[in-house]
């Protein structure tokens, strides 16, 4: 016979007296710790908790009992008739009960039968109570872990605030002077070498760098059309100038063309790096703060291109494949997204470099999905070992020895926090030869 059937039998045979019923409102105390109790209660409807008082007078939850379970078991069957816990109605409750005297005063055979009938149900109830108590314990443990992490992040935040204060002034000086110097250099070129001004401006407005394969193909084409030195051909191939435009110059001017373009590109990289540093400092300073300075009209694809431009040096030996769909604009902060992509791409490049990956490659795709934008960044590196995969988003976690990736090892922790702040999700799939970071951002975030 099932426990449910046995409970039904007990209700009909022993808990069927309409006079032996109790109704409690949520929060009412059925019995207090140390109080006399001569009743065995069966919960017909509702939930109850058993609480124990410690030496300081504080109560903590020991067990929970739900519909079809008993309370008052220990005091009733041990015959101490003293409640070991305070039992409180967690919801409105309906209880049926039997008095101890009603059984002990009965015929011995009837009392024996009642105990046998109740034994299976009571054992089941004690087991269920133990399981519920375990669940409560796990919930409390998880709460304590969250409090520990929150306290740790608060400490890191205080340290980061001091660090950010020291760095911020220096970065602002670099940003202002970089802008000023870039303008002065352009004025000088316009005055003294106006024929090269367009090349300088082209470098200063350049987009994401070409991949290694694209540079190689372009350099071969230049060498095929002109008998150029291989080194010069590669320099020219790294520019975003078309082959036809490069070939329109005479051989004597090609070296100057490359130098003026590289000069403009250097200032562009310095400006982007300064802007990125400002956002990094701001994010470290506000580890636990709400995001601000978000506006409509953000283009995700542009933030990826900006991140790639900042990482020109790291991507120089990587074959980058881009597949960008036309995406809706979103409400957000450009610097925050640039920071996300830089951390993920930089980690991928470093992993492939350290592993000595043959023909390192990086694939970045953006796609519009129903109500969200999906960005996938995939590399062909060594993969993330299973034993650390679950830890990569934890604050202060780093696999590096003798070096720090993000000052305090916070790179991917901040990535996850930023993605979550946009109601987004980030997932990682990894195996040797293929690691993918998949980020999904709802494009209606921040819109009523």
Compare 287 and 283 and report the one with higher pLDDT.
283
Domain 290-448, second-level architecture: 2-Layer Sandwich (3.30)
For 24, 252, 446, the CA distances from 190, given in Å and listed in that order, are 88, 20, 45
- CB distance 355 to 382 below 8 Å: yes
- Phi first, then psi: give them for residue 85, nearest 5 degrees: -140, 165
For 196-246, what is each residue's pLDDT tens digit?
898 898 888 887 677 777 888 888 988 888 878 888 888 888 888 888 888
Tell me what the mean pLDDT of segment 348-359 comes to.
90
Q: Please give the Cα distance from 314 to 436 (Å, whole number).
A: 18
* 104 has pLDDT over 60: no
> What's the pLDDT band for 121 if we cut at 50, 70, 90?
low
Residues of the chain with CATH 2.60.120.10: 3-142
Q: Which stretch of 82-91, 281-290, 366-375 has the lowest confidence by average pLDDT?
A: 281-290
Question: Length of the chain, please?
Answer: 448
Q: What is the pTM of this model?
A: 0.46
Supply 200's token pair. Answer: 């300088």
For 243-267, what is each residue's pLDDT tens digit?
888 888 887 788 888 899 989 988 8
Fold adopted by 3-142: Jelly Rolls (2.60.120)
* Residue whose entry in the numeric block shows the structure tokens 């090269």: 196
Residues of the chain with CATH 3.30.565.10: 290-448
**pLDDT on residue 283:** 60
- CB distance 441 to 298 below 8 Å: no
Q: In this structure, are strands 295-298 and 330-332 parallel, antiparallel, or unpaired?
A: antiparallel
């Amino acid at each position: 016979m099932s426990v449910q059937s046995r409970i039904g039998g007990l209700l009909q045979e022993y808990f069927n007296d309409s006079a032996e019923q109790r109704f409690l409102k949520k929060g009412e105390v059925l019995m207090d710790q140390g109080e006399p109790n001569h009743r065995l209660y069966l919960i017909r409807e509702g939930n109850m908790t058993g609480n124990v008082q410690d030496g300081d007078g504080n109560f903590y939850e020991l067990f929970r009992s739900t519909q079809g379970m008993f309370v008052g078991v220990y005091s009733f069957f041990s015959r101490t008739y003293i409640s070991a816990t305070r039992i409180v109605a967690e919801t409105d409750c309906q209880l049926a009960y039997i008095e101890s005297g009603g059984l002990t005063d009965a015929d011995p055979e009837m009392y024996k039968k009642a105990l046998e009938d109740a034994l299976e149900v009571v054992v089941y109830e004690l087991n269920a109570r133990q399981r519920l108590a375990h669940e409560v314990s796990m919930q409390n443990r998880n709460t304590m872990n969250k409090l520990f992490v929150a306290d740790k992040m608060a400490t890191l935040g205080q340290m980061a605030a001091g660090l950010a204060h020291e760095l911020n002034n220096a970065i602002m000086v670099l940003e202002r002077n970089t802008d000023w110097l870039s303008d002065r250099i352009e004025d000088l070129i316009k005055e003294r070498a106006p024929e090269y001004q367009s090349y300088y401006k082209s470098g200063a407005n350049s987009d994401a760098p070409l991949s290694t394969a694209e540079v190689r193909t372009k350099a071969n084409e230049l060498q095929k059309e002109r008998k150029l030195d291989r080194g010069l051909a590669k320099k020219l191939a790294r520019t975003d100038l078309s082959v036809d435009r490069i070939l329109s110059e005479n051989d004597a001017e090609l070296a100057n063309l490359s130098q003026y373009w590289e000069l403009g590109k250097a200032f562009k990289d310095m400006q982007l790096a300064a802007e990125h540093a400002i956002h990094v400092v701001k994010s470290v300073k506000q580890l636990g703060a709400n995001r601000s300075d978000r506006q409509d009209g953000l283009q995700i694809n542009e933030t990826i291109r900006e991140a790639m431009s900042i990482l020109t040096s790291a991507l120089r030996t990587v074959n980058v494949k881009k597949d960008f769909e036309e995406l809706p604009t979103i409400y957000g902060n450009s610097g925050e997204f640039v920071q996300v992509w830089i951390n993920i791409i930089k980690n991928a490049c470093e992993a492939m470099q350290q592993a000595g990956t043959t023909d390192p490659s990086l694939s970045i795709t953006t796609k519009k999905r129903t109500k969200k934008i999906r960005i996938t960044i995939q590399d062909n590196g060594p993969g993330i070992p299973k034993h650390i995969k679950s830890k990569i988003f934890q604050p202060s976690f780093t696999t590096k020895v003798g070096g720090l990736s993000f000052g305090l090892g916070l790179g991917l922790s901040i990535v996850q926090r930023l993605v979550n702040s946009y109601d987004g999700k980030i997932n990682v799939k990894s195996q040797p030869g293929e690691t993918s970071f998949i980020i999904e951002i709802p494009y209606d975030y921040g819109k009523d």
